[in-house]
Structure 1
Amino acid sequence: MPILCIILVLMLSSASSISCCTEHERNCLLQFLAGLSQDGGLAASWRHGTGCCSWEGITCGSMKNEGEVAAVTDVLLGAKKLQGSISPALGSLPGLLRLNLSHNSLSGSLPSEIMSSGSIVILDVSFNGLAGVPTTTGSRLKRRPLQVLNISRNSFHGEIPESIGQLKNLEMLSLGNNNMSGNLPPSLGNCTSLITIDLKFNNFSGDLGKVDFSTLRNLKTLDLLQNSFSGVLPESIYSCSNLTALRLSVNPIHGEISSRIGNLRHLSFLSLTENSLRDIAKAFRALKSSRNLTTLLIGRNFWGEPMPQDEAIESFESIRYLSIYHCSLIGNIPLWLSKLKNLESLDLSNNQLTGAMPSWINSLSNLFYLDLSNNSLTGQIPATLTEMPMLKLDDYEAHLTRQFDLPVYFVGIARQYRTVTSLPALLNFRANIFTGVIPPKIGELKALTRLDFSSNQLQGEIPPSICNLTNLQMLDLSINHLIGPIPEGLNKLNFLSELNISNNDLEGPIPTGGQMSTFSSSSFGGNPKLCGSILAKYCDPVEAVPTVPDISENEYGGKVISAVAFGVFFGIGVLYDQLVLSSYFCPK
């Protein structure tokens, strides 16, 4: 019994030490509250006379910091709709380990007292309106070094200080989407615990070769998208043997991809888009050893070079997302692409590719995004296009669960995709020289959400089966030589929000009363034989579209058979009558 009493006393004393914060900590938190112009309802919880360990967003523990008792270990107030400034008093919380003020509308500067705190391990103030020059000092690192520094999505400016190299335990450095500039300090190579470096969308410049990346053996993600770094790809990067994601896109980096990139055995995401790289054939040879590569984005490089036709790409079996757009590459669509059996997205747009579209396209059983626009491809669109397995599935997203290692950006970096499933199911053959008709069975690709065959030389009618694409959101068949009526069934495509069938030779009335009524005249212009209220051109009564009942294939076949049988019996009857009558009127 006495032992139980002792245990109970210890438990109560432990609970008391955890649940009670000091007067100093309470005052620091109240000073932070006083600096807010919008507190997101915190005032209702943060009341005088109550223990701050019970306040919203506050977590307490039990510890001592240089002889000073401290209770508050976490201030977690992300996405609380807070407005105002950050009080320096938060930096005086002696036991604070984690500070999260992300996804608010805070403004002003990030107090140096917080940056120099001797206890904070995780600091996240991302997605706010903070400004000024962030600073770091070495004094805070003697006891509990900073491991995560995330100040992305603010308006910070200035350079990364040389003192960054004193953050020996820093694992994540995220400064993306700010206005920071200058060269990367060589001392960054001293942060040997770094796993993630995210500096995208800033104005950093200088030669990357001045940073010794070879010391960053733990580095897994390096994202320097859209800065002004120059020079060649630094050789020291190829020593980061644990690197899984590397993005240096939209920088004036030049030269060639070194064969040493094959040392990055774990690399799965590589984006070098919009630099000034050359020798695409050497690049493919260098990447053969990267057998785990799933995402390869190398567009806007290799200007005017031949498309490699005879490269052995057997080692690229893991590739799922391949983009080689806007390079003005010359040649045909290469056969080695047919070996990429896991390929889900292929972008060869804005090149100078010629020849026919290969009939083996349906062998890429996982492909659901294909962009061949703005090339000089000729011949007919192969019928095998309508046999693409992934595009025939109503639930193709269920077969695509992989997430990109880094967000993929589109449309001038105005749109980003984090998962493969967020990409549209797309066929874009715009601005080529395709002839012949639209494949009659195009309607079997039921997964399609975007279809663009515009600016070609296609002929014939719009196939009725296109009305079976019930997931279609965009349809562009403009600037071709299409004839005949607009299929009435287009009215039933309820998700269709973009339509352009202008500049053809279509005729008859524009269907009304459904989805067609939501589009403007520009969707139909340049077809002199079309009529309808949308074009302010009324149709003659003889041009009225007859109402044709929907019938199934079985019903249709049955009616055809009945008609043929009736015709046969009718013909036999007429022939018999002629024979009988001839016996009366013919001479003997």
Structure 2
Amino acid sequence: MDKAMRFVSVFRFLSIATITTISLCNGNLGVPCKQNERQALLMFKQDLKDPSNRLLSWVGEGDCCNWTGVVCDNLTSHVRELHLGNYYSDEYLNYSLYRKLFGWQVGVANMTRLKVVNLRWNIIWGTIPQRLYTCSNLESLSLYLNLLRGEILSSIGNLTAIVNLDLSANQIEGKMPNSLGNLCKLTVLDLSRNYFNGSVSEMESLKLSTNDFSGPLSDQLGNFRHLCLLALLSNSISGPIPVTLGNLSFQEEASISENHFNRTLPKTTGQLKMVTAAYVKRIAGRL
């Protein structure tokens, strides 16, 4: 076989291998989604108002792995991710979690293989259904900018696989349950712009701005060595700024202004290398 023929053979092999690889990455090996999970998604859709027809593909006996916003596992065809976040103001989904809780309890929350649920920036209102707290494989949950109310139940501690939890910009109230301490894989927690109260109690990002937290900051906050973003502005936190806060080197931001800290500014705060100057100025102006 001359060089030209060998080159063509190798090229054909690489072409077939590339196509096969792309198919394995983007498809589900020709295996349709699980029937019970397709039905669960259709049940969830029943209680949705979809004025922009974003879920037009969610019909009949089709393969739900090809539906808008649905991502399936390539090998098992189980629904793995649900991306229905709204990034355009006129494409919201309207869903009432008060209405029988049907779609969640019999639908989405029953899909135990779910790892990602993104329903950000819609008009979802009501309380977070207890059944959602049983999704023990869930790694990312975003319900940002909806109309959720009520309290976070202690059973949130069952979400032991959760890494990213964003419940910001809702109307959730009450105290933060101690069971949040069970979420040992949690690295990003955003509960800002709600109505939480009580005292502030490890992670890389902690956003609790614009709530009703009160009482002093715990000295244990300085033990969170990996914390690179701390946002506590616009609460009612009082007492001294913990000396241990100076042990942290924030890589992104530390915002603790618009609270009721006393007039003691610990010397260790000078060790904060990445605190935004504007925030330091605001704090210092109150002292």
Short-chain TM bin: 0.7 to 0.9
Question: 2: CA distance between counterparts of 1:513 and 1:358?
Answer: 35
Question: 2: CA distance between counterparts of 1:361 and 1:322?
Answer: 15
Unpaired runs of 5+ residues, structure 2, are 35-51, 71-75
Identify which of 271, 280, 284 aligns with 1:524: 280
Post-superposition shift, 1:319?
Answer: 1.0
- Seen in structure 2, the aligned counterparts of structure 1 residues 340 and 354 have a Cα distance that, compared at 3 Å, is same
Asked if the contact 2:151–2:172 (Cα under 8 Å) also holds between the matched residues in 1, the reply is: yes
Post-superposition shift, 1:523?
Answer: 2.0
Asked if the contact 1:323–1:348 (Cα under 8 Å) also holds between the matched residues in 2, the reply is: yes
The aligned amino acid for 2:209 is S
Post-superposition shift, 1:315?
Answer: 4.0
Q: Which has the larger radius of gyration?
A: 1
Identify which of 436, 455, 458 aligns with 2:198: 436
Partner residue, 2:165: 370
Identify which of 56, 70, 82 aligns with 2:4: 70
- Seen in structure 2, the aligned counterparts of structure 1 residues 243 and 337 have a Cα distance that, compared at 3 Å, is closer
Question: 1: CA distance between counterparts of 2:96 and 2:85?
Answer: 14
> Do structure 1's residue 330 and structure 2's residue 125 form an aligned pair?
yes
Identify which of 74, 97, 100 aligns with 2:10: 97
Question: 1: CA distance between counterparts of 2:200 and 2:271?
Answer: 22
- Seen in structure 2, the aligned counterparts of structure 1 residues 348 and 518 have a Cα distance that, compared at 3 Å, is closer
Question: 1: CA distance between counterparts of 2:77 and 2:199?
Answer: 40
Question: 2: CA distance between counterparts of 1:498 and 1:72?
Answer: 58
Partner residue, 1:306: 96
After TM superposition, list the pairs within 5 Å mapping 1:279-294 onto structure 2: 292-294=78-80
Identify which of 230, 234, 259 aligns with 1:504: 259
Unpaired runs of 5+ residues, structure 1, are 1-61, 64-68, 74-94, 99-119, 123-145, 150-169, 174-194, 199-218, 222-239, 245-251, 274-289, 392-424, 440-444, 532-588
Post-superposition shift, 1:519?
Answer: 2.3
Identify which of 262, 272, 287 aligns with 2:69: 272
- Seen in structure 2, the aligned counterparts of structure 1 residues 484 and 529 have a Cα distance that, compared at 3 Å, is farther
Question: 1: CA distance between counterparts of 2:55 and 2:208?
Answer: 37
> Do structure 1's residue 457 and structure 2's residue 212 form an aligned pair?
yes
> Do structure 1's residue 486 and structure 2's residue 272 form an aligned pair?
no
- Seen in structure 2, the aligned counterparts of structure 1 residues 327 and 498 have a Cα distance that, compared at 3 Å, is same
SS state of the match for residue 329, structure 1?
strand
Question: 1: CA distance between counterparts of 2:5 and 2:131?
Answer: 63
SS state of the match for residue 524, structure 1?
helix
SS state of the match for residue 189, structure 2?
strand
> Do structure 1's residue 347 and structure 2's residue 142 form an aligned pair?
yes
Report how many residues are paired. Answer: 254
After TM superposition, list the pairs within 5 Å mapping 1:87-486 onto structure 2: 95=8, 97-98=10-11, 120=12, 122=14, 147=16, 195=23, 220=28, 241-242=31-32, 254-256=54-56, 257-261=58-62, 263-264=63-64, 267=65, 272=69, 292-300=78-86, 302-307=92-97, 309-310=101-102, 311-313=105-107, 315-391=110-186, 425-439=187-201, 445=202, 448-486=203-241
Show CA shifts across 1:303-346 (max 9, x none).
33213624224641111111111112111111110221111211
Post-superposition shift, 1:510?
Answer: 4.9
Question: 1: CA distance between counterparts of 2:217 and 2:243?
Answer: 11
Question: 1: CA distance between counterparts of 2:25 and 2:139?
Answer: 28
Asked if the contact 2:125–2:148 (Cα under 8 Å) also holds between the matched residues in 1, the reply is: yes
Question: 1: CA distance between counterparts of 2:234 and 2:77?
Answer: 43
Asked if the contact 1:500–1:522 (Cα under 8 Å) also holds between the matched residues in 2, the reply is: no
Post-superposition shift, 1:451?
Answer: 0.5
The aligned amino acid for 1:479 is S
Post-superposition shift, 1:479?
Answer: 1.1
Post-superposition shift, 1:241?
Answer: 4.2
Asked if the contact 1:506–1:529 (Cα under 8 Å) also holds between the matched residues in 2, the reply is: no
Asked if the contact 2:254–2:276 (Cα under 8 Å) also holds between the matched residues in 1, the reply is: no
SS state of the match for residue 350, structure 1?
coil
The aligned amino acid for 1:521 is A
| Relative contact order, higher structure (CA 8 A, sep 6+) | 2
Post-superposition shift, 1:386?
Answer: 2.3
The aligned amino acid for 2:214 is Q
Show CA shifts across 1:33-64 (max 9, x none).
xxxxxxxxxxxxxxxxxxxxxxxxxxxxx35x
Post-superposition shift, 1:353?
Answer: 0.5
Show CA shifts across 1:75-132 (max 9, x none).
xxxxxxxxxxxxxxxxxxxx3633xxxxxxxxxxxxxxxxxxxxx554xxxxxxxxxx
- Seen in structure 2, the aligned counterparts of structure 1 residues 304 and 253 have a Cα distance that, compared at 3 Å, is closer
Question: 2: CA distance between counterparts of 1:373 and 1:474?
Answer: 16
Show CA shifts across 1:272-331 (max 9, x none).
29xxxxxxxxxxxxxxxx971122212225533213624224641111111111112111
With normalisation by structure 2, the TM-score equals 0.75
Asked if the contact 2:239–2:260 (Cα under 8 Å) also holds between the matched residues in 1, the reply is: yes
Asked if the contact 1:502–1:525 (Cα under 8 Å) also holds between the matched residues in 2, the reply is: no
Show CA shifts across 1:197-229 (max 9, x none).
97xxxxxxxxxxxxxxxxxxxx548xxxxxxxx
Asked if the contact 1:317–1:342 (Cα under 8 Å) also holds between the matched residues in 2, the reply is: yes
Asked if the contact 2:54–2:68 (Cα under 8 Å) also holds between the matched residues in 1, the reply is: no
